[in-house]
Amino acid sequence: MRIVTRLRGVHPSVAIAVNALTRNRLQTGLTLLGIAVGVATVLTMLAVGAGAQRSIEQQVRAAGLNQITVTAGNWKPKVDDTGAAVAHQADARRLLAAPRPRRVLLPQVVDDIVLASHPEDDPMEKHDHPLAWQRLGDLEAGLGAAATLTFADAEAIRRLDGVQYVACGVHANARVFHDDKRWFTRMHGTDRQLLDIKRTWTLKHGRFFSDGEQDDAEQVMVLGQVVAEKLFGAIDPVGQTITLWKQPFRIVGVVTSASWVVRPAPGDDEFDAVYMPYTTTHRLLNLSKLNDITVTAASTGEVSALSKRIAALLRQRHGITDTQPDDFTIATQATRAITTGGLPPNVAAAIAGNVRELERVTLEQLAGTLERASRTMRWLLAAVAAVSLLVGGIGIMNITLLSVTERTREIGLRLAVGARARDVMRQFLIEATAISLAGGIVGIVAGIVTSLTISSTLQWATVVTPGAVLIAFGVAAAVGVFFGWYPARRAASLDPIAALRYE
């Protein structure tokens, strides 16, 4: 009666249920724990499944299976007897250790401003970036790069059938400044469409530069997350000014990775970088050439065919005869994987001859295959959760049957004084559901904590959505009603006279 009095204002059936459950605290606690484990498993599995699906989508986009890169020059890395590319780090180390060469870049007058090309970006100079000599693209840029691609080439490629996006590229090492802070990074003069190509990017702050800013060659800049953190810390830098080549640039956005697979880190070529319109780069540095052109095909099944059309187009535009080699290099993800994957030369050659067959699949087909694999995994995880809930449900049934046995005389008395069978049945269903819902709440909290722990410790993608929480709570309620039905029915069917005689 003590608990019933405390719960004054609450429905009598609820008060009686709480009173009955607290009489068997150990059994109630163990049953609640079983339900909590089951619900936590359900929520965790839903979170892992949703995270896996999202990461699959990200990896399909990140794979760049429909991406073609056209690079100026035809230098290719040496290949060892395994078919793998040999890194030229020893050559690069010797170059960096050599005496400082004589500067060959001359000052250029741009709009009445005397501007030396990269005056503070000497790669031979000791600087604040610990991995600067290892930056992606630096080795190749110093060992065979050539200025053979133009904006007109990019526009011609853009008009080819089967082309989805085209982005021009001008790249250089650069030292950027803000107040008393500086950072050695990578500068990319690029196209507005780069954001459409980089499907695994997301804007942490602001926006990417616009078509109008690109057309007008405005001095605007998008920072990679690493650069933003090095110069501005945790604050939003949009609207701030950054200095490069002694020129001010207005920051309009910050890009970061939308994929848990790729984490921004110092020295990478995407997020430890700054981006500006290639037109701005050309205006300030008085350039007329491109380092590369990035192209995406509308279908991965047409990548090889499109690569051949691009090669034929560029050879024609550059006036290259049949006896002359290309003055550019075309690489796809498939050919890049074959030539750098450590395959023996004969195997690599055999595969390379069938690249088109390997690429004869669309991103949609690949995504569908991965989705089916993800669905299978979710079903397996759901089976594990079902076992946990079954154990918890059996616990609810056991404790409710125990309660019916212990309260047989109470049930008989209630029936004798006028209570209906459905009132008794409702009473025990409320008790079973109360245990289940309490376990559900505990399980939801535990599931969220577990999901976050898995994400932080194992680096797995987990996504806890409101829908998943509602599903977990609904499952808990359903388990209580389902497994409480039989004991409640048994209590309601007791004969009042026999129940009153029960000892």
Residues in contact with 329: Cβ distance below 8 Å, sequence separation at least 6, in sequence order: 70, 71, 73, 74, 75, 76
Same domain, 384 and 334: no
How confident is the model over 94-145, as pLDDT tens digits?
A: 433 444 444 444 444 444 443 444 434 443 344 343 333 343 344 444 334 4
The answer for residues whose C-beta is within 8 angstroms of residue 192's C-beta and 6 or more apart is 208, 209, 210, 211, 214, 277
pLDDT of amino acid 138: 40
Query: Does residue 452 share a domain with residue 375?
Result: yes
Query: For 325-346, what is each residue's pLDDT tens digit?
Result: 888 888 876 555 444 444 445 4
Confidence at residue 347, expressed as pLDDT on a 0 to 100 scale:
47
**SS3 label, residue 254:** strand
Compute the distance between CA of residue 433 and CA of residue 441 in angstroms, rounded to an integer. 12
Q: Do 129 and 150 fall into the same domain?
A: yes
Same-domain check for residues 184 and 41: no
Highest mean pLDDT among 141-150, 383-392, 481-490: 481-490
Per-residue model confidence as pLDDT tens digits over 178-197: 988 999 999 999 988 888 88
How does strand 247-257 pair with strand 220-224? parallel
The helix or strand, by DSSP H or E, that contains position 177, with its residue range, turns out to be strand 163-178
Question: How far, in Å, are 49, 174, 241, 286, 290 from residue 117 at the CA level?
Answer: 51, 10, 20, 9, 16
Asked if pLDDT for residue 381 goes beyond 60, the answer is yes
Q: Could you give the residue ranges of the DSSP H alpha helices within 261-359?
A: 278-285, 303-317, 333-340, 345-352, 355-358
Question: What domain range is 426 assigned to?
Answer: 2-60+366-501
Mean pLDDT of 291-296: 88
Query: Are residues 265 and 316 both part of a single domain?
Result: yes
Residue 103 included in any domain:
no
Q: What is the pLDDT of residue 445?
A: 92
Q: Domain count of the chain?
A: 2
Nearest to 476 by CA among 50, 40, 47, 49: 40
pLDDT at 82: 40
Three-class DSSP labels, 22-34: HHCHHHHHHHHHH
Better-scored residue on pLDDT, 91 or 303? 303
The arithmetic mean of pLDDT across residues 227-237, rounded, is 91
89 part of a folded domain: no
Which DSSP string corresponds to 145-176?
----B-HHHHHHHHTSTTEEEEEEEEEEEEEE
Q: In the prediction, which pLDDT does 228 show? A: 92
Closest residue by Cα to residue 364 from 51, 23, 61: 61
Q: Give domain status of residue 423, yes or no.
A: yes
Asked if residue 93 belongs to a domain, the reply is no
101 is a domain residue: no
- State yes or no: pLDDT of 250 exceeds 90: yes
Q: Helix %, strand %, coil % for the chain, to 5?
A: 55, 15, 30
Residue 378 pLDDT more than 80? no
Q: What is the pLDDT of residue 343?
A: 44
Distances (CA, A) of 113 to 106, 107, 109, 284, 323: 14, 10, 6, 9, 45
Over residues 239-243, mean pLDDT:
92
> Is 100 within the bounds of a domain?
no
Q: What is the model's pLDDT at position 34?
A: 79
User: What confidence score (pLDDT) does residue 468 get?
Assistant: 82
Bigger pLDDT: 126 vs 432: 432
| Residue partners of 209: CB distance under 8 A and separation at least 6 | 192, 218, 220, 221, 222, 252, 253, 275, 276, 277
Judged by average pLDDT, the poorest of 79-93, 191-205, 269-283, 471-485 is: 79-93
Query: Does 84 fall in a domain?
Result: no
Q: Region 254-276: what's the mean pLDDT?
A: 82
Round the average pLDDT of the chain to a whole number and report it: 74
Nearest partner of 21 among 31, 9, 12, judged by Cα: 31
pLDDT band at residue 429, thresholds of 50, 70 and 90?
confident
Together in a domain, 73 and 21: no
What is residue 141's predicted lDDT score, i.e. its pLDDT?
Answer: 41
Q: What pLDDT, on the 0 to 100 scale, is given for residue 176?
A: 92
Q: How far apart are CA 483 and CA 477, in angstroms?
A: 10
Same domain, 338 and 234: yes
pLDDT confidence of residue 187: 92
Q: What pLDDT does 427 receive?
A: 81
Which pLDDT score is estimated for 106? Answer: 43
pLDDT at 369: 62
- Could you say which of 358, 385, 409 is where a domain stops? 358
CA 290 – CA 408 distance, rounded (Å)? 88
Beta strands 241-244; 220-224: pairing state:
unpaired
State whether the Cα torsion 219-220-225-229 is positive or negative.
Answer: positive
Give the residue carrying structure tokens 């059994």.
27
**Percent above pLDDT 90 for the chain:** 15
* % residues pLDDT > 70 (the chain): 67
What is the rounded radius of gyration, in angstroms, for the C-alpha atoms of the chain?
34
What pLDDT does 430 receive? 83
Pure H helices in 107-224: 138-142, 151-158, 194-197, 211-215
Beta-bridge partner residues of 188: 171, 275
Asked whether residue 257 falls in the same domain as residue 190, the answer is yes
- In this structure, the answer to whether residues 132 and 214 fall within a common structural domain is yes
Pairwise pLDDT comparison (62 vs 338), residue with the higher score:
62
3-state secondary structure of 121: coil
Residue 17 falls within a domain, yes or no? yes
* Cβ burial, residue 5 (10 Å; 0-12/13-18/19+): exposed
What token pair was written down for 329?
């290099």
Tokens representing 479 are 């388990």
Same domain, 70 and 54: no
Using one digit for the tens of pLDDT, what is the confidence trace for 155-186?
Answer: 999 999 888 889 888 888 889 999 889 999 99
Cα separation, 92 vs 79, in Å, equals 17
pLDDT at 342: 45
**pLDDT (average), residues 391-406:** 81
Q: Are residues 379 and 334 in the same domain?
A: no
Q: Which long-range contacts (CB under 8 A, 24 or more apart) does 207-211 make?
A: 207/252, 207/253, 208/252, 208/253, 208/255, 208/275, 209/252, 209/253, 209/275, 209/276, 209/277
Nearest to 173 by CA among 227, 133, 114: 133
> At which of 327, 358, 389 does a domain end?
358
Would you give the distance in Å from CA 111 to the centre of its chain? Answer: 43
Pairing of the two strands 292-297 and 163-178: antiparallel
Same structural domain, 166 and 305: yes
Domain boundary among 358, 379, 398: 358
**400-432 burial by CB neighbour count: b if 16+ within 10 A, else e?**
bbebbeebbebbbebbeeeeeeeebbebbbbbb
